[in-house]
Amino acid sequence: MPEDRSDPQVPDPVAPDARLFFARPWVFIRGVPRMDILPPEGPPEVAFAGRSNVGKSSLINALVNQKGLARTSNTPGRTQELNYFVPGGYSGDGSDLPPLAMVDMPGYGYAKAPKEQVDAWTKLVFDYLRGRATLKRVFVLIDARHGLKANDGEVLSLLDKAAVSYQIVLTKIDKISERAVPKLTEATLAAIRKRPAAYPALIATSSEKGLGLEELKAEIAGFAEV
């Protein structure tokens, strides 16, 4: 059966060219530590979720080909806010809406921070996932070296309950053998097959080697309003 393109969770077939869309400069517009200072709802948003140190910031930087856009660190848990990125030339304050925003969410799981602070980040993420009408898809990043873990499953269950469309993105596939990639892909797809909000295809990526980036760009650009 063909995809129902009337579904807002499915990318629009009339989408900007992904390469051109990501060739323009992107900018950081806001870090959001609390729900009450989220940018006004307007343009579509896609968000990146994953365990601490899964490579979210590195992947965002690779997508836009800007090394310093999203902060990267060897210390897990450094991303403490919902960080908003949009194509350059847009304010993001509601007066001049960009075609799309990308949101880097705080990593879940291990973080070198007090428990109270980690709990606050976790609540922020969960509240955002439950209540953001303009959120079109969450890309859940999974480290290819480790596969799905218990806390990943908890996040997937939350997304299922909230009916938020999500897609698995394997990261760091250059760190495992080429022969292991299809096995991991098959196992991951089998694990999410019966989950109601899971997109039935995943993307295997390497920020370092550039693998899978064009496919991911096309998925993201498909949600942009043009």
For 108, which DSSP code?
B
Pairing verdict, β 101-104 and 82-87? antiparallel
Give me the pLDDT at residue 8, please.
45
List pLDDT tens digits, range 190-200.
999 999 999 99
Per CATH, the homologous superfamily of domain 18-221 is P-loop containing nucleotide triphosphate hydrolases (3.40.50.300)
Given this model, what pLDDT does residue 104 score? Answer: 92
Residues linked to residue 170 through DSSP beta bridges, in sequence order? 142, 204
Q: pTM for the complete prediction? A: 0.86
Q: Which bin fits 109, alpha (ψ -120 to 50), beta or left (φ > 0)?
A: left
pLDDT (average), residues 91-104? 77
Please determine, for residue 51, whether its predicted confidence score (pLDDT) is greater than 70. yes
Confidence of residue 3 (pLDDT cuts 50, 70, 90): very low
The domains of the chain are located at 18-221
